[in-house]
Amino acid sequence: MKFLPIKDAWFSGSMNYLGRARKPDGTPEYEATYEINASLQISVPRVRAARLARGRARPRHQLRRSSRRSTSAAGWASSATVLTMNSRGAALFEGIANNAILIAHGVTEVEELPSDDLQVGVLPRAAQDDAKNQSSWLTWKEGVAQKDVAATLRRDYLVSEERADKLSGAWGRHPLLGRMYLPCYRAGTEHVAELRRRYPPEKVLPALYGCRGMVDVVTVRQTRSG
């Protein structure tokens, strides 16, 4: 994965799965790029790059996309979902991403993480998910003005000023991102967490990562493993 800083991008980050590079034996290299808005306050290069490396590589988005490519190369999976165009697929992907720290440590609850720092580090993610959910509701259900949505996000969810502006504006008022994608984060996180509590890792993880067929947040319960 290559991280590419872009000045004054309208997004905070955007991942691109390239899928062209091959090893000498013809198998995929699983390469991707991640474009970073280098103008954001949270984009201090060294710190931001380290956080993104943890967040976008294993066991999060890039691993799931790599598993999809593997099944495609094997000849029985030929398509995938585009996140912002398929809310069921997006909900599963973001749910996996937000549960990744728990998956990596083999636990199902935040309080089971091995240090206080790790446990505290998960909390801002939960607040971000709630902020995204609330932005979508206020904008599209309640018809609240952008400046008032931004003020609510700053006050009640402790997001930064620029993050509140993005979630209430470029994202929140976009007909796909705001209406379909923003609510996916919290819903997907809760759904994946519930599946991990209910089923053992050897059963649920291959299903979540698409190793038993093409799935989304609904059809993941209907994989060939039962």
Query: What's the per-residue H, E or C state across the chain?
Result: CEEEEECCCCCCEEEEECCCCECCCCCECCCEEEEEECCCHHHCHHHHHHHHHHHHCCCCHHHHHHHHHHHHHCCCCCCCCCHHHCHHHHHHHHHHHHCHHHHHHCCCCHHHCCCHHHHHHHHHHHHHHHHHHHHHHHHHHCCCCHHHHHHHHHHHHCCCHHHHHHHHCCCCCCCCHHHHHCCHHHHHHHHHHHHHHHCCHHHHHHHHCCCCCCCCCCHHHHCCCC
Domain boundary among 42, 57, 72: 57
Q: How wide is the angle at C-alpha 128 spanned by C-alphas 199 and 7, nearest 5°?
A: 120
Report the first-to-last Cα separation within the chain, whole angstroms: 34
- The pair of structure tokens assigned to 225 is 């493993």
Within-domain flag for 66: no
Within-domain flag for 70: no
**Do 106 and 154 belong together in one domain?**
yes
**Do 53 and 125 belong together in one domain?**
no
**Do 87 and 2 belong together in one domain?**
no
Nearest C-alpha neighbor of 215 from the set 107, 100, 86, 84: 86
How many domains does the chain contain in total?
2
Range of the domain at 169: 82-222
Domain boundary among 15, 40, 57: 57
**Do 202 and 109 belong together in one domain?**
yes
**Do 89 and 21 belong together in one domain?**
no
Within-domain flag for 35: yes
Length of the chain: 226
Task: Report the pLDDT value the prediction gives residue 147, as an integer from 0 to 100.
Answer: 97
**Do 48 and 100 belong together in one domain?**
no
**Do 48 and 93 belong together in one domain?**
no
Within-domain flag for 67: no
**Do 161 and 217 belong together in one domain?**
yes
**Do 103 and 187 belong together in one domain?**
yes
Within-domain flag for 88: yes
**Do 104 and 45 belong together in one domain?**
no
**Do 106 and 206 belong together in one domain?**
yes
pLDDT in tens, the chain (226 residues): 788 888 887 677 777 777 778 889 888 777 878 888 877 766 454 444 455 554 454 444 555 555 555 555 444 443 444 556 668 888 998 899 899 999 999 999 999 999 998 898 888 888 889 999 999 999 999 999 999 999 999 999 988 898 899 899 989 999 988 998 999 999 999 999 999 999 999 999 999 988 888 888 999 988 755 5
**Do 48 and 89 belong together in one domain?**
no
Q: What residues pair up with 22 in beta bridges, in sequence order?
A: 28
Within-domain flag for 74: no
pTM: 0.73
